Amino acid sequence: MRYMMLIYGTEETIQPSEAEQAAVMAAYNAFGEAASARGALLSGEALYPVSSATTVRLREGKVLTTDGPFAETKEQLGGFYMLQCKNLDEAIELAAKIPGASVGSVEIRPIFEWQ
């Protein structure tokens, strides 16, 4: 079954040092390599900060756009992985290894398979 791992965290106003950023990227690269070696990694991407978001709504035939996300939240979606897992237990095991789980949260969503 395919699972979407949605990585949430707070966007810091203080920029991390180059060494801190390098350590974070190394941890994500290591996770990607490990998930790929297991045959689980289907896709994964980081997202630009929430300040770059645009929300679109269609109301009474009119397209309405708003800068930013649709809701005020403490945590923002920062990226995702799509993984192929045998079951939810394996999905949980892998989600716990995503570096963002240690400072934010990872939401696991099964992907609906259209028959």
Give the count of beta carbons closer than 10 Å to the beta carbon of residue 30.
12
pLDDT given for residue 50 in this prediction: 84
Could you give the CA distance from residue 79 to residue 64 in angstroms, rounded to a whole number?
25
Could you give the CA distance from residue 106 to residue 3 in angstroms, rounded to a whole number?
12
Give the count of beta carbons closer than 10 Å to the beta carbon of residue 69.
14
Q: What is the pTM of this model?
A: 0.86
Q: Which residues pair with 106 in a beta bridge?
A: 7
Question: Residue 6 phi/psi, 5° resolution?
Answer: -95, 120
Q: Nearest CA to 4 among 60, 88, 69, 63? A: 88
pLDDT digits (tens, 9 = 90+) for 60-89: 999 999 887 666 677 889 999 999 999 999
pLDDT given for residue 98 in this prediction: 96
Could you give the CA distance from residue 90 to residue 62 in angstroms, rounded to a whole number?
44
- If DSSP codes are grouped into helix, strand and coil, which group holds residue 64? strand
